[in-house]
């Protein structure tokens, strides 16, 4: 376990709000990677991908840089528009 992992684990034990923030950031990162990988595997830039999904390019950029908590609705729209299934796996903070 790295020093940062130890720090996060210890701080999370003492601060439930911190644990929730870390968990949300882990989810955002996992979603960001999955959406970017999907888009790149389809050979599309952000603008073309956004047009396919019916969202602004800025929404795709925010998802891919992890600054947006993508709703299940948005993820469902991405999955439907691309005829793909998005599977997100993350490790909860203990």
* Per-domain residue ranges of the chain: 3-82
Q: What is the pLDDT of residues 8-48, one digit of tens each?
A: 999 999 999 999 999 999 899 999 999 999 999 999 999 99
Res 80 pLDDT > 60? yes
Q: How far apart are CA 44 and CA 13, in angstroms?
A: 42
Residue 91: pLDDT band with limits 50, 70, 90: low
CATH number of 3-82: 1.10.260.40
Class of residue 70 by CB neighbours under 10 A (exposed 0-12, middle 13-18, buried 19+): buried
Q: Tell me the pLDDT of the chain averaged across its residues.
A: 91
């Amino acid at each position: 376990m790295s020093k940062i992992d130890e720090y996060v684990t210890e701080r999370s034990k003492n601060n439930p709000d911190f644990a929730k923030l870390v968990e949300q950031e882990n989810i955002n990162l996992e979603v960001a990677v999955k959406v970017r990988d999907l888009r790149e595997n389809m050979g599309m830039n952000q603008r073309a991908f956004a047009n396919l999904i019916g969202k602004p390019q800025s929404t795709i950029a925010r998802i891919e840089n992890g600054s947006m908590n993508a709703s299940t609705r948005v993820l469902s729209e991405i999955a439907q528009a691309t005829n793909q299934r998005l599977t997100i796996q993350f490790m909860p903070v203990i």
